[in-house]
Structure 1
Amino acid sequence: MGFLVFALLTIVVDFAASQSLVLVGGNLNDGNEAIWGKVVELAGGRGVARIGVFTTASADPEDSAAYYIDIFVNIYGAANATYIPVTESSNNANDPSVAELTRQQTGFFFGGGDQSRVLKALRPRGRDTLVLTAVKDMFKAGATVGGTSAGAACLSDTVMITGGSSYDGLTYGAFSGGYKPLRPDELSYDEYGGLGFLAGWLPDTHFSERGREARLIRVLQDSRDRDIGTTRGFGLDEDMALLVLDLYTRPVGKVIGTRGGVFIADVTNTVVIPSETTNFEGVSVHYLTQDDTIDLTTGNITIASWKTNLKDNEYYNNAEVSNDILSSQRDRVWASAAAQFFNNKLDDVVTHYSYEKNPKFEITFDRVTGSGYGGIPPSNPEITVVSHQNLKVGIRENV
């Protein structure tokens, strides 16, 4: 009977999409149809999609599951949404009956909370459980996998960020061993990695809103030489998503949403100058907004056709300087500074500063080889968005 169910569901899922991921930056608005609706569509569509809900990351998994089930079924028309009752203390991730329940779904969604809980439950010390194996089997058969906040941060096969701030990361570096409650600001990562769906890219979430640009850059650089380290990562803004299609053939990510964007960092060619804190030159940075795409194999970026090159069409005369560029408390400081920088006429290089002192950091933006693009999203004519590519970033202690 189990084989028949699996075969039937495989047929249903194959009509929907092939190995697709929907990675959301957190704080997903109930009315964001572009993202919620896309998960349902990729899982088979209204009246067909069967969503397996994992709220393993939550401190209150059952209550969180009820929320997601209501959204998927009563607002976005999934045929069914089912709580997959695996938590860090349930000890049932190797239960065949729970694995069989998992195989009855055409899509999966991982909720927010603490990504470390997800790894402890589903992939302890880097070993797949039966339930995770079932999710991967269905994924390979065509099911979609989505996640928000912690549920997106845990989906890669690289090291997984578990906590910490940009400023502490630049001051002290990034440390393996996972989150340490007694040192909550310490920049940390899990060296065993995430659940293993997305290869070669390190994701971070709640990104521009919490000033996480420098923390992603530092984790990439400090962990790049580990077995599952990488030089490339992306930061997902809140209420935004990166849709990745054809993961096992030619994965391409497309930005969904209008509130913010997706930050891309590449430290492949970064020059590291010996320092007691941080001294990096030549970090390659991009910021993509609605409908922009990135080839996750080559890194090639395609800007949406409705955006125009800002070169010779800039609005501001000069670039503004931020004296709180690493802020985790003020919304979108780095993102706003970069957008304004690419929309200025005269300055090709600008240096920003951290508010924090002892040490104080300076972050240099260089657009000589970069380009910015602006436009009004077709889905929201009341705003203007700015994308940019090939921004070169330098980070060093101010002395």
Structure 2
Amino acid sequence: MTGPLGTSLGVGVDENTALVIYDVGETSQLGEVLGASGVLFVDLSKSTVSTVRNQWAINNVISSYLTDGDTYAFNGNKVNFATWKLNLQGREYYNDAITSNDIFCNPDKVIRNNREFAKVTRRLYDNRRDVTTYGDTDENLPRFRVNVDKSVGGSYGFGGYHAVNGNFYVSFTGLDTDIAAT
């Protein structure tokens, strides 16, 4: 699937974060994430959109969330994690994943859960037990459920402590994401 502007890749940059693009316009074009938060890459190339009983849904969206030091090769959608990050499988900190009742952070709420999608998905990769989780949107009529699944082949989570600021960063690639009205 391609979006309305003819692209199959969406990119969202968090606050206090930059995506520095090298070799612009070349086949070697590369983006490097720098900063305190992360960058969400949404690959729509294999996704499908459907409407059943006037209820909209999109399936097979592949999400990647990269943090400081990670790179993204735009030619081939290849992710490289920073060398100071390790594969989280077998090194998970939490026992369980979390869910959310405001997965996309309703901007109209007085108290917002900023970056909730990033929190839920990073915790999915940094937990021992769960391979799927979900979040619901805050608004009604319609309300949407976002299901995420890390058990799909080619899905990896990496994490590590940053040498300069000491923060623990979690990045991932290949997360299967489905969104449907409930």
Same fold (TM over 0.5): yes
- Counterpart of 2:156 (choices 371, 381, 391) is 371
Using the TM superposition, give the Cα deviation of residue 221 of structure 1 relative to its aligned residue in structure 2, in angstroms: 5.3
Q: Deviations over 1:103-122 (max 9, x none)?
A: xxxxxxxxxxxxxxxxxxxx
Using the TM superposition, give the Cα deviation of residue 378 of structure 1 relative to its aligned residue in structure 2, in angstroms: 2.2
Higher strand share: 2
Q: Partner of 1:395 in structure 2?
A: 179
Q: Partner of 1:319 in structure 2?
A: 97
Higher relative contact order (CA closer than 8 Å, sequence separation 6+): 2
Distance between the aligned counterparts of 2:10 and 2:164, measured in 1?
A: 27
Distance between the aligned counterparts of 1:222 and 1:274, measured in 2?
A: 16
CA-atom RMSD, angstroms?
1.5
Contact 2:104 2:115 in 1 (8 A): no
Q: Partner of 2:12 in structure 1?
A: 235
Alignment of 1:273 with 2:50, yes or no, is yes
Higher helix share: 1
Q: Which amino acid aligns with 1:390?
A: G
Q: Partner of 1:247 in structure 2?
A: 24
Using the TM superposition, give the Cα deviation of residue 328 of structure 1 relative to its aligned residue in structure 2, in angstroms: 3.2
The count of corresponding residues between Structure 1 and Structure 2 is 173
Using the TM superposition, give the Cα deviation of residue 352 of structure 1 relative to its aligned residue in structure 2, in angstroms: 1.6
Distance between the aligned counterparts of 1:234 and 1:254, measured in 2?
A: 13
Question: Any stretches of 5+ residues in structure 2 without a counterpart?
Answer: none
Question: Any stretches of 5+ residues in structure 1 without a counterpart?
Answer: 1-219
**Secondary structure of the equivalent of 2:119?**
helix
Runs of 4+ that moved beyond 6 A: none
Q: Which amino acid aligns with 1:284?
A: I
Change (3 A) 1:279 1:379: same
**Secondary structure of the equivalent of 1:278?**
strand
Distance between the aligned counterparts of 1:368 and 1:307, measured in 2?
A: 20
Q: Deviations over 1:148-183 (max 9, x none)?
A: xxxxxxxxxxxxxxxxxxxxxxxxxxxxxxxxxxxx
- Counterpart of 1:358 (choices 141, 144, 158) is 141
Using the TM superposition, give the Cα deviation of residue 343 of structure 1 relative to its aligned residue in structure 2, in angstroms: 0.8
**Secondary structure of the equivalent of 1:328?**
coil
Change (3 A) 1:247 1:222: closer
**Secondary structure of the equivalent of 2:16?**
coil
Q: Partner of 2:39 in structure 1?
A: 262
Greater Rg by CA: 1
Q: Deviations over 1:70-117 (max 9, x none)?
A: xxxxxxxxxxxxxxxxxxxxxxxxxxxxxxxxxxxxxxxxxxxxxxxx
Q: Deviations over 1:329-351 (max 9, x none)?
A: 32111111111111111111112
TM-score (ref. length: structure 1): 0.42
Distance between the aligned counterparts of 1:308 and 1:338, measured in 2?
A: 17
Distance between the aligned counterparts of 2:3 and 2:72, measured in 1?
A: 24
Aligned pairs for 1:52-131 within 5 A: none
Using the TM superposition, give the Cα deviation of residue 255 of structure 1 relative to its aligned residue in structure 2, in angstroms: 0.7
